[in-house]
């Protein structure tokens, strides 16, 4: 899970009426997931919380009351072990978190080819400046175009990988135009045999 920048943290706090400690704990929980593999930060915070008189249990209960953590999750009692992987987050919250973080857009940006060699000349593909004023705007637009749906996002990345492997010419366009036109839909048609595929002297980097 992509962590939030300061402005994004403030937006999340405003949206869900979260305290700074609650946001900090949330990010530590995301870091402690199997996907990220950084439980050491949560363990260290647990030790520090005793010194600064912060109750992690109270924070978890508060997050549960605010609809961030599902009510089906049993908050450990004092002295019991907390397993970050057992925490069930509200799906709507995770959906909105991805909006704030730009996580999906950033992963899409990193997956999309950077340069194409067309007829012997290099052509940059990741220049979004003519369409968007910042990376954050581009990330937001991509997320919006797929409804911030994680499964659809994974499907788009799979289609891009297929296009790279098969020399698909539809990837020979600026990344902003690719997103605005939702060109992954055309790649899917080609992959499924519902479109015509042509090749030229292009190399995707």
- As to burial, measured by CB atoms within 10 angstroms (0-12 exposed, 13-18 middle, 19+ buried), residue 92 is exposed
CB 51: neighbour CB atoms within 10 A?
7
pLDDT of residue 159: 96
pLDDT of residue 201: 46
Integer angstrom CA distances of residue 130 from 16, 47, 92, 176: 34, 49, 33, 9
Record the tokens describing residue 145, joined without a space.
Answer: 């175009």
CA atoms within 13 A on the CB side of 84: 21
Q: Which long-range contacts (CB under 8 A, 24 or more apart) does 18-25 make?
A: 18/63, 18/66, 18/68, 19/62, 21/54, 21/59, 22/59, 22/62, 22/63, 22/66, 22/68, 25/56, 25/59, 25/60, 25/63
Looking at residue 105, the DSSP 8-state letter turns out to be: H
Instruction: Tell me the average confidence (pLDDT) per consecutive run of 10 residues in the chain, 205 residues long.
Output: 79 92 94 84 93 95 96 92 91 87 90 85 85 86 88 95 90 92 94 66 52
Phi, psi angle pair for 124, to nearest 5°:
-70, 140
CB 14: neighbour CB atoms within 10 A?
9
pLDDT of residue 27: 93
pLDDT of residue 167: 86
One DSSP character per residue, 108-148 reads: HHHHS-SEEEETTEEEE----TTT-SSHHHHHHHHHHHTTT
């Amino acid at each position: 899970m992509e962590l939030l920048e300061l402005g994004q943290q403030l937006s999340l706090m405003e949206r869900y009426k979260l305290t700074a400690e609650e946001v900090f704990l949330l990010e530590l929980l995301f870091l402690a997931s199997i996907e990220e593999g950084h439980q050491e930060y949560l363990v260290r915070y647990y030790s520090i919380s005793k010194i600064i008189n912060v109750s992690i249990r109270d924070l978890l209960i508060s997050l549960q009351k605010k609809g961030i953590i599902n009510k089906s999750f049993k908050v450990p009692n004092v002295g019991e072990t907390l397993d970050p992987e057992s925490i069930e987050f509200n799906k709507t919250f995770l959906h909105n978190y991805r909006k704030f973080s730009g996580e999906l857009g950033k992963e899409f940006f990193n997956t999309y080819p950077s340069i194409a060699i067309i007829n012997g000349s290099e052509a940059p593909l990741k220049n979004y400046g003519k369409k968007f004023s910042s990376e954050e705007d581009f990330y937001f637009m991509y997320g919006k175009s797929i409804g911030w749906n994680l499964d659809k996002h994974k499907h788009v990345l799979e289609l891009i990988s297929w296009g790279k492997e098969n020399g698909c010419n539809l990837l020979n366009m600026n990344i902003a135009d690719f997103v605005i036109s939702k060109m992954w839909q055309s790649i899917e048609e080609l992959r499924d045999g519902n479109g015509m595929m042509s090749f030229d002297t292009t190399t995707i980097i």
